[in-house]
Copies of this chain bind each other. A is one copy, B any other.
């Protein structure tokens, strides 16, 4: 930890001196009531006469009093903050969710504490540990690699909301997106356009998202009576460079394809670039569809057809679920249904 110094100490002391440091006690004095009464009014934790309530509210306003969350945390056990374990804070996919979470929490006076899990089990549990030591009131986990059991164990300590996975626990609520249905939508779209040789680029199979999207791909083929061809399935890792490499591998194989379904937009972007390098044009030679509807997908050349997941809403819903949990209720939210977005990277197969 940074060494202690005069400058710092002075700075910090300054904040607790006149001007800034209006305390609950001051409010009480000003309003002519006891501190407990002020506290009760602030927290609505008991009935108080209207007269005193008005006096206190006036005092709060005049003094510009803002309760100190640190003190509240120590005394009441609630810190009015909720931890959020995100995988990559700069991810185009999860970034939106964080925004939704922040927006929703702030309406209730709660502050999110974002920590990165970096898709690594060790980082994730370290992240949760710091959050717990910070005494957050709840924890929201965005997917990740932590075993279910670990998550469930943590949920005995704090209310938890886990998104992108499905599991149960004491004060644990989770909801996933309907990846399977979304994938079916994508593949069905390709089929509707006359494609039958449809390649699939899988994401990192350690993610549920990845396996579910593969299942959706298989579902759709089966429904259309198309025999799945293992030669047309490549392994990717949900990143752009991974998408490029996977595409290169795919092109080396015997099997040909007229369309490619990439399990996420980032890989689709990589794939398009890689196809271009190989002299294949999208959508003229190959139709490409992604998944997620990341911002960038709109502005690619060509703009990418994809499956829309309103990530912002997912963040919002996760935060709302957390609010319910904090109120002792079991949340009743469900992920919004995925929707097909047709842009210009897919087209009807020319005969």
State the A residues within 8 Å of B (CB): 1-9, 11-16, 20, 43-45, 66-71, 73-74, 77-80, 88-92, 95-96, 98-99, 102, 108-116, 130, 132-135, 137, 156-159, 171, 240, 269-270, 272-273, 276, 295-296, 298-301, 303, 323, 326-328
Given A90-B95, A134-B111, A273-B303, A77-B12 contact (CB < 8 Å)? yes
State A135–B16 Cα separation when bound (angstroms): 10
Given A95-B89, A157-B15, A171-B11, A115-B108 contact (CB < 8 Å)? no
Contact of A73 among B20, B70, B92, B111 (CB under 8 A): B70
Return chain B residues, CB-CB under 8 Å to A269: 296, 299
Cβ-defined contact, A328 with B7, below 8 A: yes
Given A13-B77, A90-B95, A303-B273, A328-B8 contact (CB < 8 Å)? yes
Total copies of this chain within the assembly: 2
**Residue on B nearest A276 in the bound complex, by CB:** B301
Interface centre among A11, A15, A130, A303 (most CB of B within 10 A): A11
Cβ-defined contact, A79 with B89, below 8 A: no
State A91–B111 Cα separation when bound (angstroms): 20
Given A3-B327, A74-B74, A299-B270, A99-B88 contact (CB < 8 Å)? yes
Given A78-B12, A111-B134, A130-B111, A327-B95 contact (CB < 8 Å)? no
Closest 5 pairs (CB-CB, A-B): A90-B95, A7-B328, A5-B328, A12-B77, A70-B73
State A3–B78 Cα separation when bound (angstroms): 12
Residue pairs across A and B with Cβ atoms less than 8 A apart, 21 shown, are A2-B108, A2-B323, A5-B326, A7-B328, A8-B159, A8-B326, A11-B159, A12-B78, A14-B156, A14-B157, A15-B77, A15-B135, A15-B158, A68-B74, A71-B74, A89-B102, A91-B95, A102-B114, A113-B113, A269-B299, A273-B299
**Residue on B nearest A301 in the bound complex, by CB:** B301
Return chain B residues, CB-CB under 8 Å to A5: 326-328
**Residue on B nearest A90 in the bound complex, by CB:** B95
Given A92-B92, A300-B300, A43-B327 contact (CB < 8 Å)? no
State A69–B270 Cα separation when bound (angstroms): 44
**Residue on B nearest A20 in the bound complex, by CB:** B157
Cβ-defined contact, B96 with A133, below 8 A: no
Cβ-defined contact, B158 with A11, below 8 A: yes
Contact of A109 among B1, B44, B270, B272 (CB under 8 A): B1
State A132–B240 Cα separation when bound (angstroms): 40
Cβ-defined contact, B300 with A8, below 8 A: no
State A110–B8 Cα separation when bound (angstroms): 15
State A69–B130 Cα separation when bound (angstroms): 10
Cβ-defined contact, A3 with B300, below 8 A: no
State A16–B130 Cα separation when bound (angstroms): 16
Given A113-B113, A116-B102, A159-B11, A240-B299 contact (CB < 8 Å)? yes
- For residue A169, give the distance in angstroms from its CB to the closest CB of chain B: 12
Return chain B residues, CB-CB under 8 Å to A78: 8, 12
- For residue A338, give the distance in angstroms from its CB to the closest CB of chain B: 20
- For residue A327, give the distance in angstroms from its CB to the closest CB of chain B: 5
